Structure 1
């Protein structure tokens, strides 16, 4: 009986060889896991580096814009919040109107030189956005169907004024938001006056953004 069992075992294969094969398999598995962990760490590190770089660029852009607009900001004629230049609607237009007032044009004129200098060094364009309060356009005002149309026309008026004063047409465009995205509640006239505004925000050129994307295979 014992002779039969012994005959089924290949005594020519040493135990250390079997153990060595097992260790090789375990080492290979460990290396694969280690490579995977290192790959994940490298990806996380690269992502963190990109986020830090993006935040640094955003901070530099904001500081450059604040420096360029130091004069108008010091005069209190505009505001700068999160990279968006805000101008009160009452400064630019009469109530329920898209006719630019003399005071409004003068404010826009003070922005031309600093904005031109700012844009020269960057792949950015100006988005001019019009906003209204939540009050519907009066029925007696037949020039605008609703707040969307009023905000759009105001944004276009400011855009055209910027172009007339020297901003290149290729560096500015208009957008309308109606009564959406208020900066405060529309509970009283003071708050509604804050929501009636035009904002000018530098953003990346679409062409520059597309060029930065990796080409698809």
Structure 2
């Protein structure tokens, strides 16, 4: 039977694979979000991992969309466990997500250094993708842990849903008029169309690793 709870699923995984210094299974609890008005959002731009070391001549023969850098953002509170991860990896979406969070400040990280550059985020657009456009992805966030759904387009359109119960995220996803809907699981290399997952969840829910 499928385990719908993100927390119970990850607890079972840790109990079966990892132990603490005393030999007991590691205990895991849910990591909440930072308090409004606190913490810092870290934004980072990184090249595609596979593209590092590829020469300029070879790059000329690779489609542009495969060379686009990956953007990420995380909201953390210094000295505390609470955190929040941005669910998208394109620049406009990351900055839109960051602008929607009530963090105390935002910085850009300089790759391969510890340097931070304070930035002033523009006001959020607070727009969802147009009906029939964009992609909706359901993923497992190990850092919380929870299931998260993100419907986004190439611009600032973004709508999200998070829950410990995967069924709640799936129900939300089914109600969104996205052009495409997919499900990702830990340990699976590629996406599964959401309709296929809903038809047979036990087949596509994998043991995380």
Q: Same fold (TM over 0.5)?
A: no
Higher strand share goes to which structure?
2
Higher helix share goes to which structure?
1
TM-score, normalised by the number of residues in structure 1: 0.24
TM-score, normalised by the number of residues in structure 2: 0.25
Of structures 1 and 2, the larger Rg is shown by: 1
